[in-house]
C-alpha cells in the first residue's frame, strides 16, 4: 500500500500524468457503461446500453475505470523512462472485463465455437451454452477477479516506479527494504 501511495504522489506530481489519468478514467468509464449492459442486450452496444444500466454495473464501471485511471499513467511513466512495465495482468484484466458481458448472451460464443467446432468437432455447440451459463451465473465473481487483477497490476507497476533508478524519487519517499 505504501508503495502505491509513494508512486502515486510521485507520478501525479507531473501535470501531464494527472491529465492522462482523468482522460483514461472518463474514457474507460464510458466504455464500461456501454459494454457492461450487453449481457442484457444480447451483445448490442450503443446508446441503448444506458437503458439497461443497473446500480451494480455502475459501481463496477466506476471501480474498473478508477483503477485503470491510476494504472495507465504508471505504465506511461515507466515506458517514458524505458523502465520495465507490467502490462500482462493489466491487459488480462481489461480484456476479461470487456469480453465477459459479451459472452452471455450474445452470438459471440456460438459463432466462435461454431468456427472452432468445424476444426475440432469434439467441441459441440452445447459446450458454448455451458460456458455462457457459467459466465451468466458467476458474473459478479468474475468482475471481482478483474478488480484483483487490476490491483495486482497497479501494485507491480507501483513497485517498478519506486525502484526506478532514473526517477529521482526523494530519499524519504523511497520504500525502505
In the complex, the residues that contact other proteins under the rule CB under 8 A are 35, 38-45, 48, 52, 87, 91, 95, 98-99, 102, 104-108, 110-112, 114, 125-126, 128-130, 132-134, 136-137, 139
Q: Based on CB atoms, which residue is closest to other proteins, 6 or 85?
A: 85
For other proteins, the closer of residues 34 and 152 by Cβ is 34
Q: Could you tell me which of 78, 64, 59 has the C-alpha nearest to residue 26?
A: 64
Q: In the complex, what is the shortest distance from the CB of residue 177 to other proteins, in angstroms, rounded to a whole number?
A: 29
Least distance (Å) between residue 56 CB and other proteins: 11
DSSP 19-44: HHHHHHHHHHHHHHHHHTTHHHHTT-
Nearest-approach distance from CB 35 to other proteins, in angstroms: 8
C-beta of 69 vs 101, nearer to other proteins: 101
Least distance (Å) from other proteins to the CB of residue 173? 28
- Closest distance between other proteins and the C-beta of residue 52, in Å? 7
Give the span between the Cα atoms of 140 and 63, in whole angstroms: 13
| Nearer to other proteins among residue 43 and residue 145 (C-beta) | 43
Which residues, 6 or more positions from 135, have their beta carbon under 8 angstroms from its beta carbon?
100, 103, 104, 142
108/105 Cα distance (integer angstroms): 8
The separation between CA 143 and the C-alpha centre of its own chain, rounded to angstroms, equals 10
Nearer to other proteins (CB atom), residue 15 or residue 51: 51
Measure the CA–CA gap between 117 and 45, rounded to whole angstroms: 27
**Which runs of consecutive H residues, i.e. helices, occur in 104-138?**
108-119, 125-137
Residue 16 or residue 114: which is nearer to other proteins going by CB? 114
Identify the DSSP state of 54: -
Please, what is the minimum distance in Å from the beta carbon of residue 104 to other proteins? Answer: 6
Amino acid at each position: 500500500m505504501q508503495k502505491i501511495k509513494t508512486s502515486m504522489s510521485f507520478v501525479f506530481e507531473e501535470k501531464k500524468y494527472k491529465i492522462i489519468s482523468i482522460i483514461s478514467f472518463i474514457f474507460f468509464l464510458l466504455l464500461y457503461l456501454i459494454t457492461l449492459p450487453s449481457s442484457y442486450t444480447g451483445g448490442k452496444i450503443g446508446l441503448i446500453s444506458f437503458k439497461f444500466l443497473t446500480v451494480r454495473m455502475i459501481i463496477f464501471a466506476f471501480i474498473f475505470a478508477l483503477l485503470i485511471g491510476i494504472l495507465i499513467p504508471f505504465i506511461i511513466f515507466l515506458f517514458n523512462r524505458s523502465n520495465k512495465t507490467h502490462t500482462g495482468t493489466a491487459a488480462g484484466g481489461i480484456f476479461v472485463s470487456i469480453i465477459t458481458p459479451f459472452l452471455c448472451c450474445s452470438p459471440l460464443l456460438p459463432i466462435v465455437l461454431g468456427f472452432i467446432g468445424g476444426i475440432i468437432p469434439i467441441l459441440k455447440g452445447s459446450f458454448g451454452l455451458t460456458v455462457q451459463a457459467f459466465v451468466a451465473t458467476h458474473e459478479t465473481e468474475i468482475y471481482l477477479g478483474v478488480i484483483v487483477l487490476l490491483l495486482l497490476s497497479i501494485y507491480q507497476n507501483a513497485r517498478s516506479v519506486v525502484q526506478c533508478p532514473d526517477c529521482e524519487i526523494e530519499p524519504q519517499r523511497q520504500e525502505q527494504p
